[in-house]
């Protein structure tokens, strides 16, 4: 069975299928990439909880930054302090033009769920 949460015309915020949770891309608010990353991760925690999962169950993270050289270190400082010890997911981070020039990070998560 497929369950969808926060369903819209274009996309769902969360999709669950066969014990796996797929989150849409999350962007955060704030003036810096660190602030936006913290906000993004707070949103992700909420979405995972809504779907019956948690940061300890993240399988994969895909992170997009508009400028790797400029933002990679600051984003990683927030990410590294957030990831639960011993539960680091498979992860990729790349550079891409995001939907708005105000966005400095976008994170896409796939996780196991109960």
Q: What domains appear along the chain, each with residue ranges and CATH number? A: 2-112 (3.30.1330.40)
pLDDT in tens, 16-55: 999 999 999 999 999 999 999 999 999 999 999 999 999 9
The pLDDT of 100-112, averaged and rounded, is 98
Mean of pLDDT over the chain: 97
- CB < 8 Å & 24+ apart, contacts of 100-105: 100/27, 101/66, 103/27, 103/36, 103/66, 104/32, 104/33, 104/36, 104/65, 104/66, 104/71, 104/75, 105/27, 105/28, 105/33, 105/36, 105/37, 105/40, 105/63, 105/64, 105/65, 105/71, 105/75
The helix (run of H) or strand (run of E) holding residue 8 is none
Residue with tokens 């069975």: 1
pLDDT in tens, 47-60: 999 999 999 999 99
How confident is the model at residue 16, as a pLDDT?
98
pTM: 0.96
Please state, for a pLDDT cut of 70, what percent of the chain lies above it.
Answer: 100
| Residue 104 binned pLDDT confidence (cut-offs 50, 70, 90) | very high
How confident is the model at residue 114, as a pLDDT?
79
């Amino acid at each position: 069975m497929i369950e969808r949460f926060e369903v819209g015309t274009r996309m769902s915020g969360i999709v669950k299928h066969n014990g796996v949770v797929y989150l849409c891309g999350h962007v955060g608010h704030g003036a810096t990439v660190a602030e936006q990353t913290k906000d993004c991760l707070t949103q992700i925690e909420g979405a995972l909880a809504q779907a019956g999962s948690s940061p300890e169950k993240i399988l994969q993270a895909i992170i997009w930054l508009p400028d790797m050289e400029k933002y990679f270190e600051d984003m990683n400082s927030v990410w590294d302090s957030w990831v639960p010890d011993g539960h680091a997911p498979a992860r990729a981070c790349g550079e891409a033009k995001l939907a708005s020039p105000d966005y400095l990070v976008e994170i896409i998560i796939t996780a196991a769920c109960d």
